[in-house]
Structure 1
Amino acid sequence: MTVVSTTPDAAARTFTIVAELASPPSAVWQLWVDPRRLERWWGPPTWPATFTKHQPEPGGESRYYMTGPEGEKAHGWWRFVALDEPSSLEFEDGFGDAEGNPDAGMPTVTVRVALEEAAGGTRMTITSHFATDEQMHQLVEMGMAEGMSSAVEQMDGLLAPV
């Protein structure tokens, strides 16, 4: 199993997912920075992502949309804050309008990803930081834990030898 734990921490306003992957950090890193690989796991299996822009560099931006089972589209955006290949990345993540521009009416989350060498592969820790308790509650109620867990679970299949 890829996902080891999911931990909401109301006091710290964080939600953390820890996963163990049977590949080195450099391979896991590629799942974050290569938009075609990212599309194959970002989003739950029933809501696959399409990245229309992806600039993994400090100050770079990403635009994407996820397509639901009925053809509906949910747009999102990232703004990269920091990258340290292949061990960490940090970005702001939010909902977007039809062009993927930030939706001011929805929360923005700061996401920190740590990739650490572990026995037999990589231990990946994804920590989402919320500005307010209300934002954290809103996104958890929208199914963030289940959605992120099912998305991350797809990574092992993409890292398996062909």
Structure 2
Amino acid sequence: MPVSSVEKDLDQLTITVIADFTAPITRLWDAYMDPRRLERFWGPPTYPATFFRHDVAVGGRSVYRMTGPEGDEHWGCWEWTQVDALRSFEVVDWFAHESGAPNTDLPATYASFTFEQTATGSRLTTVSRVDSLEQLELLLSMGVLEGTREAMSQIEAVLADLAEFAASRGAEAQILSDTQVRVARVIRGTIDQVWHAHNDADLMKRWLLGPDGWTMPVCEIAANVGDSYRYVWEPAGGGEGFGFTGELLGSEPPHRAVTTEAMIGRELPATLNELTLTPVQGGTLLSLVITYANAEMRDAVLATGMTDGMETSYARLEGLLEASVSA
């Protein structure tokens, strides 16, 4: 059991949890940065979490849902207020509505997470503070302490898996809901390099090609929120191509971009694409959450081999980044 101490301070209105791990601090930090790993322990075993958004940057937000054994759903969200890589981060943790918006009828928790290297591995100290004794008593009555202990007990298995995960970083698609899919991959490169690669037309034409044998003759970037973009691909030897267009709805360089995407010449509903970039050990975690109009459209797109095509493009991007470093 990694939890070594739990303390309640009724005067300071805080709950402090200290947990020790044999894993190095980089692996512990990355477990919180990567939503695929975080959702394996954020919540008790009987209430697993799914993260639909996870912005690791000041001003960013995370949105998650915990699902109970009877199918009951409980939503939460974080507002990121401080990030100091490999040392600490702070969030305001809210109960949330299904939309992801904070439920202001329930108390917010101001949580700080401090990471330290130890002689045997790493230590995590979590301090949770509320605004009143009544709020603290409410959280305790809701079983926060018990839930925290159960959640922490799952981290060691996740940290062990991360060692193997680091060696295999191919793009993977995970179904989040009836309409949402998350595609994630760690790319060997800095967050600034990966952001630039998504916003430089000449560079995009060199890597965003999917399988070999395709070209990208049209790459019109949406530089500002409200602008439209247009991408077109054609077979290298000639033949019928295809393309996408959409609008840039949000941009927070170099961490997050939100766009719509519709296939040119097809009367299909547009998707909502939310791109998040997070620095992790060995590179940048790219996470793309795609929201489709319905489950049928989601499944039809996945069946096209979309993930394989994305993996080929990301591998090509890595090659370009590595070549630029060695040049």
TM-score range, shorter chain: over 0.9
Query: Which residue matches 1:117?
Result: 117
Whichever residue aligns with residue 112 of structure 1, its letter is S
Q: Distance in 2 between matches of 1:83 and 1:118?
A: 21
Q: Distance in 1 between matches of 2:24 and 2:81?
A: 23
By how many angstroms is 1:44 displaced? 0.3
Q: Distance in 2 between matches of 1:116 and 1:46?
A: 29
Query: Which residue matches 1:106?
Result: 106
Name which structure has the greater RCO, CA cutoff 8 Å, separation 6+: 1
Confirm or deny that 1:17 pairs with 2:17.
Answer: yes
Q: How does 1:27-42 map to 2 (within 5 A)?
A: 27-42=27-42
Query: Which residue matches 1:70?
Result: 70
By how many angstroms is 1:24 displaced? 1.3
Confirm or deny that 1:128 pairs with 2:128.
Answer: yes
Superimposed CA distance per residue, residues 41-69 of structure 1 (whole angstroms, 9 cap, x where no aligned partner): 00000000000111010000001110001
Give unmatched runs, 5+ long, in structure 2: 165-327
Q: Distance in 1 between matches of 2:136 and 2:30?
A: 28
Q: Distance in 1 between matches of 2:102 and 2:4?
A: 31
Q: Percent identity?
A: 39
Whichever residue aligns with residue 116 of structure 2, its letter is E
By how many angstroms is 1:23 displaced? 1.0
Query: Which residue matches 2:143?
Result: 143
Rg larger for: 2
By how many angstroms is 1:115 displaced? 0.5
Q: Distance in 2 between matches of 1:69 and 1:118?
A: 37
Whichever residue aligns with residue 152 of structure 1, its letter is M
By how many angstroms is 1:123 displaced? 1.0
Query: Which residue matches 1:53?
Result: 53
Whichever residue aligns with residue 74 of structure 1, its letter is H
The secondary structure found in structure 2 opposite 1:46 is coil
Whichever residue aligns with residue 45 of structure 1, its letter is P
Whichever residue aligns with residue 34 of structure 1, its letter is D
Q: Distance in 2 between matches of 1:15 and 1:36?
A: 26
Query: Which residue matches 1:7?
Result: 7
Whichever residue aligns with residue 134 of structure 1, its letter is E
Q: Distance in 2 between matches of 1:100 and 1:128?
A: 21
By how many angstroms is 1:6 displaced? 1.0
Whichever residue aligns with residue 15 of structure 1, its letter is I
Whichever residue aligns with residue 4 of structure 1, its letter is S
By how many angstroms is 1:99 displaced? 1.2
The two structures, once aligned, show a CA RMSD in angstroms of: 0.8
Whichever residue aligns with residue 14 of structure 2, its letter is T
Q: Please report the TM-score for the alignment, with normalisation by the length of structure 1.
A: 0.97
Runs of 4+ deviating beyond 6 Å: none
